[in-house]
Amino acid sequence: MFLAEAGADFIKIGIGGGSICITREQKGIGRGQATAVIEVAAARDEYFEKTGIYIPICSDGGIVYDYHMTLALAMGADFIMLGRYFSRFDESPTNKVSINGQYMKEYWGEGSARARNWQRYDLGGDAKLKFEEGVDSYVPYAGPLKDNVGMTLAKIKSAMCNCGALSIPELQQKARITLVSSVSIVEGGAHDVVLKDSTANRNQ
């Protein structure tokens, strides 16, 4: 509530959940992204009921697959940080390199030695980054932004349709988040078959 009462235009949720962030293992700070979004969304709605002021929230971290975006929105996020997602595209201003025969794009965190963003992460004193909170890495190259964003939006819209929702607020109202077992996760993808593409790749 402190940030809302201080006049924040929106609140960003997430510490250590990003793919290139190592804050949790370095400092032990942060919590599960889903839990954080759900609890902050509940506090936002409570604040809105009391004051009539709606503070949007942004989920920052934990997005790897397209369906993760739908989950974040369903849990209460108004919008999402997508650093890894956009870093894979032609439009990302980083080098495209070949690693073991696969094209990759460079991707690094603000808390990494490469970025050297000590003004954000250092505690003062010497103008230097005392330890890293991010890594220098690669992500699989995915081509042009236009083609990928169109596919992602199609998946989100289809998932919303499955929930009977025509808007993000309606999705947040109608979607039901449940715990699943490891067996359910396996069942959610292709299983107990030999994929043709996988077979072809193994034979190359």
- Catalytic positions, please? 21, 120
Cβ atoms within 10 Å, residue 3: 13
What tokens appear for 130 in the block?
């005392």
Q: What angle do CA 167, 17, 87 make, to 5 degrees?
A: 75
The answer to whether 85 and 62 are in contact (CB under 8 A) is no
Q: What's the order of all strands across the beta sheet hosting 57-60?
A: 11-13, 57-60, 79-81
Contacts of 77 (CB under 8 A, 6+ apart): 13, 37, 41, 57, 58, 59
CB 18 within 8 A of CB 62: yes
For tokens 């397209």, the residue is 66
